[in-house]
Amino acid sequence: MKEQAVNGRPHWRGRLRAMGPGIMMASAAVGGSHIIASTQAGALYGWQLALIIVLANLFKYPFFRFGPQYTLETGKSLLEGYAEKSRVYLWVFFVLNLCATVINTAAVSMLCAAILSFVLPGEWSMNALSAAVLASAVLLLLVGPYRTVDGMSKIIMISLTLTTVAAVAVAAGKGAQMQPGFIEPSPWNLGALAFIVALMGWMPAPIEISAINSMWVSAKRKLEKVSYEDGLFDFNVGYISTAVLAVVFLALGALVQYGTGTEVKMAGGAYIGQLIDMYAQTIGEWSRWLVAFIAFACMYGTTITVIDGYSRTNMESLRLILRHPQRERSNRILAVWIIFAAASGLCVMLFFKGAVLAMLKFAMIASFVSTPVFAYLNLALVRKGKHRLQPWLMWLAWIGLLYLSGFTVLFLLNQSGMIA
């Protein structure tokens, strides 16, 4: 017994030290897809889309897992694997990643600014608040890129999880707020397909986050010795947390807003106000400021992880495209990409502010349409690894590919007018 206890301590210490990339992935995921999209799904359709959210998380699990798994096995990033398969894949990823960098940075920083506008006294310019959010995020990342994101993500995820679970528990105790005579709308028609596809596109996160997570694992291994098992444990904790939180946020919208007659505002910034009201109605008015702070911390954490993650993958993609002989990932080059992400996001807000919502929806749909391609690539890269894939994981991957590809084909046929 004594020997087992002694041997057990290093085992759990190692797992705790390995924690980081998976939690950072969770922090990046819970922004637009969870706080906004999941809650809106509950507010619009009640519990009807719960199965869609569960299946999206379930069937994407293998392909997100393959990112850290490939890096833990080979010491190489997923992007290096893409380059070895075909440079065409690398170019496609780089172009999509650049677009996502600009659009997502603008979107998440605008949501941060929207939350601040609810909290701060007086009238504030959204552009000024967004610029302040981006400037502070860049400063923090330039001081300590990986450690900053790692530390903040853990605090934010714990705070957000506790508060949201408490809000849903109180709301469940009160029961659904549906008005008598309310006619429940059905999402099972082609008119709702675009919303469902956008929801699944970022559920639990865009597919490029698998490559970003791979880069974070590489960065973590420079600071700590991370074993294969401990690295996968970290990933599973982060991924399962995001999946559970997606359902929790759906429950919040379904229990508090669905069927009440209140119009659901689809613009992310406008919906933030409704979201804060939901928490205040369920937990109590005293919680309004606490929830606003946690919501801001969550979106601020998402902003930082988005800027850091996309900057790392842009830097690595360009290095591989240019065939740089060295694995050059200096902080100086990363700093240039970080500044680019923030500056480009700010330019979108200043000059194309009215188009950000449309651009964000496009990014979510583009992410979903490209998911089957990169999902298959991730599977192909790990199939020949030294750790043989368990049969259940292989089956889940192939079923997931069929499910995601089927939805993609249906959506493309609908958009082309072949199915109306």
What pLDDT does residue 295 have? 77
pLDDT greater at residue 287 or residue 142: 142
What average pLDDT score do residues 182-192 get? Answer: 85
b/e 226-247 (16+ beta carbons within 10 angstroms → b): beeebbbbbbebbbebbbebbb
Q: What is the distance between the alpha carbons of residues 356 and 7, in angstroms, rounded to a whole number? A: 53
Query: Yes or no: is domain 23-416 CATH 2.60.40.790?
Result: no
- Tell me how crowded residue 78 is: count the other CB atoms within 10 A of its CB: 30
Tell me if 214 sits within 8 A of 66, measured CB to CB. no
In this structure, the chain runs to a length of 420
What pLDDT does residue 8 have? 43
Ramachandran assignment for 265, one of left (phi > 0), alpha (psi -120 to 50 degrees), beta (any other): beta
| pLDDT, tens digit, 9 for 90 and up, residues 101-121 | 888 888 888 888 888 887 777
Residue 136 has pLDDT above 50, yes or no: yes
Return the domain boundaries, the chain: 23-416
pLDDT-based confidence at 267, cuts 50/70/90?
low
% of residues, the chain, pLDDT over 70: 88
Query: How high does pLDDT run on average in the chain?
Result: 82
What pLDDT does residue 372 have? 87
Helices then strands, counting H and E runs in the chain, come out as 16, 0
pLDDT-based confidence at 216, cuts 50/70/90?
confident
Q: What is the distance between the alpha carbons of residues 357 and 97, in angstroms, rounded to a whole number? A: 18
pLDDT-based confidence at 293, cuts 50/70/90?
confident
Q: What is the distance between the alpha carbons of residues 328 and 250, in angstroms, rounded to a whole number? A: 42
Residue 339 has pLDDT above 90, yes or no: yes
